[in-house]
């Protein structure tokens, strides 16, 4: 699955190409890719044709495009009733790609949905959803008011609206409206282990297994640390570390372990991560090595996956919670 930085790379890439453009025509080439749209292909197409893509918004790993009725103004100059009510939701899954292509580029082998956009100088005409393994998909959903009145997520022109499917998840560490106070209050109330809390999308969204391990390593905290014993400064440290790891990945153009993942322009994502913990079982801890200490990263079973820690600089707590 793409991690948050990869989805953010897609958002940034996509928004410059599609924002403010009208969707003139939609071809659904494989119904399986719109299976989450309960009302079927006819309704899916009917909702999209003639709509203007107002923006591309992301919260956690959720990505959506709010849609404006073309008769109600444009994205840059919405008319009085030009507030978007619905959005096109995109789940990339394991292998989903959003590509901008010129009309004369032959169809990709796994092309599932094609959008023909209103022409614009120097911009490709088509947005294509390509998905080899069909775990991803597209559907139209309602926009609902955010529960805190803040923006729905990261966007070019933020509105206090959020795609219904994303309304239950907390803000992610890259969201300017993220409230540390709220996060810390909720964290202290959870009687759980720190990594389990970091992976809890209701507490903070967008942190997957890899980024959790890296954030814990950077902040020198063990994954089993009971959250109700976490001091404010420690919580700030681990959250700041999660943000830093994500920003580093973003600066590198997004990262992914999945060779099927490509970014919105079709170029391969950045693969060579500088990981310190994740996937480094049995290898020396970089920080300890720099201090002349011999310590090997260890791997523990955790929630059907793995956790990677340095036994020296991330000591296991007493009464740890897994
Ligand atoms: Zn270490």
Domains annotated for the chain, with CATH where assigned, are 4-166 (3.20.190.10), 180-309 (1.10.8.50)
Highest mean pLDDT among 97-111, 239-253, 281-295: 281-295
Q: What would the mean pLDDT of 121-142 be, rounded to a whole number? A: 93
Per annotation, catalytic residue among 19, 21, 59, 61: 61
Q: What would the mean pLDDT of 214-220 be, rounded to a whole number? A: 97
Q: What single-letter DSSP state applies at residue 277?
A: S
| C-alpha 291 – ligand 1 centre gap (Å) | 9
| C-alpha 173 – ligand 1 centre gap (Å) | 25
What's the confidence (pLDDT) of residue 103? 94
* Confidence at 73, pLDDT banded by 50, 70, 90: low
Beta sheet of 23-28, edge-to-edge order:
23-28, 111-117, 126-131, 96-101
Active site annotation includes 158: no
Ligand 1 (ion): residues with CB under 5 Å are 285, 287-288, 295, 310, 312-313
Instruction: Enter the tokens of residue 12.
Output: 């940034």
* Whole-number Å distance between alpha carbons of 171 and 231: 21
Given a contact cutoff of 8 angstroms between Cβ atoms, the answer to whether 285 and 296 are in contact is: yes
Given a contact cutoff of 8 angstroms between Cβ atoms, the answer to whether 235 and 179 are in contact is: no
* Whole-number Å distance between alpha carbons of 129 and 101: 11
Given a contact cutoff of 8 angstroms between Cβ atoms, the answer to whether 308 and 280 are in contact is: yes
Q: What would the mean pLDDT of 53-58 be, rounded to a whole number? A: 97
* Whole-number Å distance between alpha carbons of 91 and 141: 12
What's the confidence (pLDDT) of residue 72? 59
| C-alpha 297 – ligand 1 centre gap (Å) | 8
300: helix, strand or coil: strand
Per annotation, catalytic residue among 3, 6, 125, 214: 3
What's the confidence (pLDDT) of residue 258? 42
Could you tell me which residue, 259 or 106, shows the higher pLDDT?
106
* Whole-number Å distance between alpha carbons of 168 and 202: 7
Find the DSSP H helices in the chain: 4-18, 40-48, 180-189, 194-198, 209-218, 232-251, 286-290
């Amino acid at each position: 699955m793409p991690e948050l930085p990869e989805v953010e790379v897609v958002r940034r890439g996509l928004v410059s190409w599609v924002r403010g453009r009208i969707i003139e025509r939609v071809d659904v080439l494989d119904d399986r890719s719109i299976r989450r749209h309960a009302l079927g292909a006819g309704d899916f197409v009917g909702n999209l044709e003639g709509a203007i893509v107002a923006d591309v918004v992301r919260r956690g790993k959720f990505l959506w495009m709010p849609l404006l009725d073309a008769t109600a103004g444009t994205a840059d100059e919405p008319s009085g009733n030009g507030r978007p009510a619905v959005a096109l939701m995109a789940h990339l899954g394991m292998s989903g790609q959003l590509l901008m292509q010129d009309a004369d580029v032959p169809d990709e082998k796994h092309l599932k949905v094609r959008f023909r956009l209103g022409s614009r100088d120097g911009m490709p005409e088509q947005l294509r959803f390509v998905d080899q393994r069909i775990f991803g998909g597209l559907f139209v959903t309602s926009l609902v008011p955010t529960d805190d009145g803040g923006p729905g997520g990261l966007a070019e022109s933020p509105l206090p609206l959020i795609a219904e499917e994303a309304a239950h998840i907390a803000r992610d560490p890259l969201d300017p409206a993220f409230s540390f106070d709220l996060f810390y209050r909720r964290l202290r109330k959870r009687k759980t282990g720190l990594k389990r809390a970091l992976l809890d999308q209701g507490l903070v969204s967008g942190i997957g297994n890899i980024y959790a391990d890296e954030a814990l390593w950077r902040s020198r905290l063990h994954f089993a640390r009971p959250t109700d014993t976490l001091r404010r400064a420690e919580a700030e440290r681990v959250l700041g570390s999660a943000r830093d790891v994500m920003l580093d990945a973003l600066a590198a153009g997004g990262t992914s372990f999945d060779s099927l993942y490509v970014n919105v322009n079709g170029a391969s994502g950045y693969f060579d991560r500088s990981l310190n913990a994740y996937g480094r079982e049995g290898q020396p801890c970089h920080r300890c090595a720099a201090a002349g200490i011999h310590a090997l990263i260890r791997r523990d079973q955790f929630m059907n996956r793995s956790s990677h820690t340095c036994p020296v600089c991330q000591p296991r707590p007493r009464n740890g919670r897994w």
